Chains A and B, each alone.
Chain A
Amino acid sequence: MSDIAIDTNANAARGRTGRLVVYAIIGAIGICLFLAPFLFPDVRSQEVAARICIFIVLVASYDLLIGYTGIVSFAHTMFFGLGAYGTAIALKLMGPGWDAILLGGALGLVVSLILAALVGLLSLRVKAIFFAMVTLAAASVMAVMASQFSDFTGGEDGIIYKVPKLFSPATKLLTDEDGKVLRIFGAKANGKMAAYYFVFFGSLILYFIMLRIVASPLGTVLEAIRENEMRAEALGYRVVLYRTAIFCIAALIAAGAGILRAVWLKYTGPETSLSFAIMIDILLMVVIGGMGTMTGAIIGATLMSLAQFYLKDLMQLASEATAGIPLLPELLAPDRWLLWLGVLFILLVYFFPAGIVGTLSRKGGHP
């Protein structure tokens, strides 16, 4: 009896230190992202930082579905893409202006909401696995349509457009006495910085909305549905309605992330916002970070984005080093990095289904 008590105490203590470690990492990532324009002024790092911000939102919204409610959807990129394409098409047709972003973004959000409600009500009634298949089919149909209606979406080439003047690199936010762009710690206070902070604060707001949702009674009901659907239904909660509601919310947030992405990149195409590769990225990030934890999204998205940008360089080296051996250089070529991520993914799901955060703090995820 006392042994068990000691054991739980030890576990709780380990969980506590683990949680502290997690919060320390989150804090560090948060500070780095907040000060990114000053800490990492070069262009490539800026791209990585903005990508991390956007993907944190995308991954956290996906975690609302897979981690908190236990529904597997493959249509998340569809909503992401709707937000991005809505904004992009409006900016292309109406010219660079805030009205275009507002109108296009709103349109993307509305279409996402309608589609999500439709798919949800149609297929969340039946088995979870049905839902996974239906969303997969819906997402790929959407991707094919986007590439076929090319007069509208630019097809495979995507759309290039201009964003409001505030975000163009030539805009001077602050000037010194000579009339040149003011430098703060070596970073130019230009439009690029404004665009980055637009993305950063946009992501931050969306992330806080999700934290609020998770902490609300709605979040508790969702976890109850994940743990035992029958019991939740028996307690009087309309499971289908709750599921559809969270699916719609997640879709809206994903579309919001899409708007941020479209404004940041000034380009929208299948590769950046609609392809299945992004869906795989999201899945990997959720699983690596830890399902059912909002903090997991931050760690997963950061780790994967860094890996994607810098792992390829490493693989290039490995491929050259093994040039003499048959097949091995082929497998180690930088283009094959998805192969290794796939293997990593399978191993993670086997051995650490709770992900980094779940393993460290010993909570969340599935037993």
Chain B
Amino acid sequence: MNSITSAFERYGGINLLPVLLALIAFLLIGSPSTWVTLTVAGLAMGMMIFLMASGLSLVFGLMDVLNFGHSAFISFGAFIAASVLAALTAWVAADSVILNLLALLLAIAAAALFGLIAGWAFEKVIIKPVYRDHLRQILITMGALIVAEQIILAIWGGSPISVPRPHFLSGSLIIGDVSIELYRLFAFVLGLIAYVSLYVILNRTRVGLLVRAGVENREMVEALGFRIDRLFVGVFVLGSALAAIGGAMWAGYETLITAAIGSEMMIIVFIVIIIGGLGSIEGSLLGAIMVGLMGNYVAFLAPKMALASNMILMMAILLWRPYGLRPAVK
């Protein structure tokens, strides 16, 4: 038993879990081409979920603030991107990659900008008065979530809104008998860029050093004369913008969105950060990829169990490691 554990640790430890998951799924699915399609879909979904989850996890790690209203940014991001894309229909449908890309980037930028501004306002108005009071934090951010969802319903209405997908991303890549949707590749690449830049900021810059130190021990960093609360506002705003971008990408992925998108994604985001452990982006990435893969495999093998399977995964991991796979805070 011990030799198995040490071998497991030597070859990457918990980082192997997604690979293990993919291998088990390969045996169960049988057909390699289906497996590749599902794996790519799972990875793309995981990356989009990572965008949504990373901010929440960092905010919690840094300031012990859990924002139940986080998913409001996801849904607002999705709806704003949908509106921008709908307004630029001519560009979206055009046969030129540049115009397509421009429309898509504009949509994502609009979502991100909203995330920045709304995140800042949200922090000032909603979160600031209830620092260090978990009970009221949960209640107030929950209230904010209700209000946000209702505002979306008031502005965009209750019926589903279709999101036009840019022309150059609407096809699929076909290699042999494997077909991969281009949009998924794009989502994967975007998520990877976000992860790498977050990783570089956190591990190679002075600000990142302070954030990591703050997650580890806030009082100590404050005693050394740094203003953790200002840093916190920055992280909060950045996290909100990332969530809005994630929402925008998700809107394009689903192509049909309703006001319930926020609360649906919220559950998945929670499962991800519980699996990954609070406060670390590595944990969030690991959790997001596992949840994405699990969701896609199970949706193929036993469609009705898709959401429940993630719940079971979470329970299993909590049994094994009560604080998640890679917690930065305990």
In the assembly, what is the distance between CA of A280 and CA of B153, in Å? 17
Contact of A342 among B134, B143, B271 (CB under 8 A): B143
The segment out of B27-35, B110-118, B195-203, B303-311 that lies at the interface is B303-311
B21 at the interface (CB under 8 A from A): no
Interface 1/0s, chain A 123-143, versus B by CB < 8 A? 101101110111011101100
Write out the residue numbers on chain B whose beta carbons fall within 8 Å of the beta carbon of A234.
none
Q: Kindly list 10 other residue pairs between chains A and B, CB separation below 8 angstroms, not including A136-B266, A339-B147.
A: A126-B322, A126-B323, A130-B274, A132-B66, A133-B270, A141-B308, A336-B154, A342-B147, A346-B143, A349-B130
Contact (Cβ within 8 A) B308 A345:
no
Contact (Cβ within 8 A) A66 B135:
yes
Contact of A144 among B126, B139, B307 (CB under 8 A): B307
Write out the residue numbers on chain B whose beta carbons fall within 8 Å of the beta carbon of A331.
154
Write out the residue numbers on chain A whose beta carbons fall within 8 Å of the beta carbon of B133.
366
Write out the residue numbers on chain B whose beta carbons fall within 8 Å of the beta carbon of A145.
304, 307-308
A-B contacts, 30 of them at CB < 8 A, read: A122-B315, A122-B318, A129-B134, A132-B68, A133-B273, A133-B274, A134-B314, A134-B318, A136-B267, A136-B270, A137-B267, A137-B274, A137-B314, A140-B307, A287-B139, A330-B154, A330-B155, A335-B158, A339-B146, A339-B147, A339-B154, A342-B143, A342-B147, A345-B146, A346-B144, A349-B136, A349-B140, A366-B133, A366-B135, A366-B136
B129 at the interface (CB under 8 A from A): yes
Contact (Cβ within 8 A) A342 B146:
yes
Write out the residue numbers on chain B whose beta carbons fall within 8 Å of the beta carbon of A353.
136
Interface 1/0s, chain B 66-87, versus A by CB < 8 A? 1010000000000000000000
Write out the residue numbers on chain A whose beta carbons fall within 8 Å of the beta carbon of B155.
327, 330
Most buried by B among A140, A149, A327, A338: A140
Contact (Cβ within 8 A) B146 A280:
yes
Q: Could you tell me how many residues of chain A have their Cβ less than 8 Å away from some Cβ of chain B?
A: 43
Interface 1/0s, chain B 39-63, versus A by CB < 8 A? 0000000000000000000001000
A181 at the interface (CB under 8 A from B): no
Write out the residue numbers on chain B whose beta carbons fall within 8 Å of the beta carbon of A276.
263
B24 at the interface (CB under 8 A from A): no
Number of A-B contacts (CB under 8 A): 105
In the assembly, what is the distance between CA of A126 and CA of B314, in Å? 14
In the assembly, what is the distance between CA of A327 and CA of B271, in Å? 36
Contact (Cβ within 8 A) B150 A141:
no
Please name the residue on chain A nearest to B323 by beta carbon. A126
A189 at the interface (CB under 8 A from B): no
Contact (Cβ within 8 A) B270 A137:
yes
Binding site for A on B (CB under 8 A): 60, 66, 68, 126, 129-130, 133-136, 138-140, 142-144, 146-147, 150-151, 153-155, 158, 263, 266-267, 270-271, 273-274, 304, 307-308, 311, 314-315, 318-319, 322-323
| 9 closest A-B pairs by CB | A339-B150, A342-B146, A342-B147, A346-B143, A345-B143, A133-B270, A141-B311, A330-B154, A129-B66
CB distance from A98 to the nearest CB of B (A): 34
CB distance from B125 to the nearest CB of A (A): 9
Write out the residue numbers on chain A whose beta carbons fall within 8 Å of the beta carbon of B146.
280, 338-339, 341-342, 345
Dominant secondary structure at the A interface: helix
> A122 with B147: in contact, given A140-B267, A339-B154, A366-B135 (CB under 8 Å)?
no
CB distance from B191 to the nearest CB of A (A): 22
In the assembly, what is the distance between CA of A75 and CA of B267, in Å? 13
Most buried by B among A134, A276, A331, A341: A134
Contact (Cβ within 8 A) A349 B139:
yes
A104 at the interface (CB under 8 A from B): no
Write out the residue numbers on chain A whose beta carbons fall within 8 Å of the beta carbon of B311.
137-138, 141
Contact (Cβ within 8 A) B138 A129:
yes
CB distance from B8 to the nearest CB of A (A): 24
In the assembly, what is the distance between CA of A125 and CA of B322, in Å? 8
Write out the residue numbers on chain A whose beta carbons fall within 8 Å of the beta carbon of B270.
133, 136-137
CB distance from B156 to the nearest CB of A (A): 10
Write out the residue numbers on chain A whose beta carbons fall within 8 Å of the beta carbon of B271.
137
In the assembly, what is the distance between CA of A337 and CA of B225, in Å? 47
In the assembly, what is the distance between CA of A128 and CA of B66, in Å? 11
In the assembly, what is the distance between CA of A130 and CA of B151, in Å? 28
Most buried by B among A66, A125, A148, A346: A346
Most buried by A among B60, B139, B155, B319: B139
Please name the residue on chain A nearest to B308 by beta carbon. A141
In the assembly, what is the distance between CA of A133 and CA of B271, in Å? 8
> A335 with B314: in contact, given A125-B322, A276-B263, A349-B140 (CB under 8 Å)?
no
In the assembly, what is the distance between CA of A129 and CA of B137, in Å? 10
Please name the residue on chain B nearest to A226 by beta carbon. B135
Contact (Cβ within 8 A) A350 B129:
yes
In the assembly, what is the distance between CA of A132 and CA of B278, in Å? 14
Most buried by A among B126, B153, B273: B153
Find residues 22-73 in chain A having any chain B CB closer than 8 Å to their own CB: 66, 70, 72
> A345 with B150: in contact, given A125-B322, A137-B311, A148-B304 (CB under 8 Å)?
no
CB distance from A253 to the nearest CB of B (A): 21
In the assembly, what is the distance between CA of A126 and CA of B134, in Å? 14
A343 at the interface (CB under 8 A from B): yes
A263 at the interface (CB under 8 A from B): no
Write out the residue numbers on chain B whose beta carbons fall within 8 Å of the beta carbon of A89.
none
In the assembly, what is the distance between CA of A333 and CA of B143, in Å? 19
